Amino acid sequence: MPITTCIFDAYGTLFDVGSAARKLAGRPGQKALAACWQALAEDWRLKQLQYSWLRAVTGEYEPFWQLTQDGLDWALEKHGLHGNLALREDLLALYWELEAYREVPMMLAKLRAMGKTCAILSNGSKEMLSAAVESAVIGESLNAVLSVEDVGVFKPASIVYDLVGAHLGCLESEVLFVSSNGWDAAAATGYGFKTAWVNRAGDPMDHLAHRPAHVLTDLTTIPDLVT
């Protein structure tokens, strides 16, 4: 069955989660952050994800924005910057203005020109996602922005992937699901979606029950997968 619908994870897939720390590190007076921003951004993202998994397992849902703050606080403490409240506030403010990867606007425009339905499915809260979409100026290329807020549990719970069919009326076999998280792409494969893992870092394949159908280095060739 042909692909009619392209679903994208948001953070790390469409939006560069390292851009907040990178942008602030380039400003005057940020010598301490400049020395560690890459490691701090990676730790921030890792803890954000780990806290989402723990919340999903324990059934103690908290909005993604709370997890984002908790992850940053852990990363700041690890790198000896937890006493700098101004730095914390600046990083959190910039997280609402994350940059999209440079190939994203053209890639989405091509998909829409091909008549494909395009949407986001993310752990992010609706408010966070709305801000990111607006900041990246990609709203006109999206048919929907779906958040786990509607079900109160984070990916990879299957009820999250149910949101796609419920909101867009498509079959699992009609969906190409795209994520920068190998575990997310693997879970979506097991769910029944065709999948693409955007492996920008060149990481090894996760050792899980399912594997993504495609492994890419960026999003440029997504339209080629749905022709």
Residues taking part in catalysis: 9
Residue in the block written with tokens 């109160």: 152
Helix axes 37-58, 64-78, angle to 10 degrees: 130
First-to-final CA distance of the chain: 12
Is the separation of the CB atoms in 102 and 218 below 8 Å? Answer: no
Q: Which of 52, 63, 48, 46 is nearest to 147 (CA)?
A: 63
Cross-strand pairs, 178: 8, 196
161 residue type, one letter: Y
With 0-12 CB in 10 A as exposed, 13-18 as middle and 19+ as buried, what is 222? buried
Rounded distance, CA 134 to CA 122, Å? 16
Q: DSSP 3-state assignment of 202?
A: coil
Which strands make up the sheet holding 175-179, listed edge to edge? 144-147, 117-122, 5-8, 175-179, 194-198, 214-216
